[in-house]
Amino acid sequence: MAKRFFFAAGETQDAMVAESESCPACLFSYVPPTVDQEADYEQRLDDVRSDARKIAKLARRVIADHVKAWDVIKGDGSPVDPKSVDETNRVDPNLIGRVFGVIRRRSCGDLPADDAAEDAEVKN
């Protein structure tokens, strides 16, 4: 299947981050950023390059703005709200970094979107 390079406004894409020694697996759906949004994120990262807290905050904000659903749950089994930067502040930082990388197209994820969607269902 050919890689897609165009997404209509609001159209979601499915992705998967595979489990690793430092990161749990995660299936998620997200709205890809526009070229202008990506340029803004890049500028904001350049502005805070030496401030890890500001980078982490930006990553959580990008996730809140773009992730529509994911399979991240709390210890009690209830879902973590990707729109809540307070809740995502408690998520494994390696997972946050990898999801942030997929959204920003710095990583294509661990499975192509179609394979990820077939392998498991993303839950709200």
Domain ranges of the chain: 35-119
Confidence band, pLDDT 50/70/90 cuts, at residue 100? very high
pLDDT tens digits for range 65-95:
999 999 999 999 999 999 999 999 999 999 9
With a cut of 80, say whether residue 3 has pLDDT above it: no
Three-point CA angle 38, 124, 68, nearest 5°: 15
99/72 Cα distance (integer angstroms): 11
pLDDT category at 23 given cuts 50, 70, 90 is: confident
DSSP state string for 82-115:
TT-HHHHTTS-HHHHHHHHHHHTTSS--SB-HHH
Model pTM above 0.85: no
**Contacts for 62 with CB less than 8 Å, ≥ 6 apart:** 33, 41, 100, 103, 104
The answer on pLDDT for 111 being more than 80 is no
Q: Are 7 and 103 in contact (CB under 8 A)?
A: no
> Which letter does DSSP use for residue 36 in this model?
H
Distance between CA atoms of residues 34 and 87, nearest Å: 25
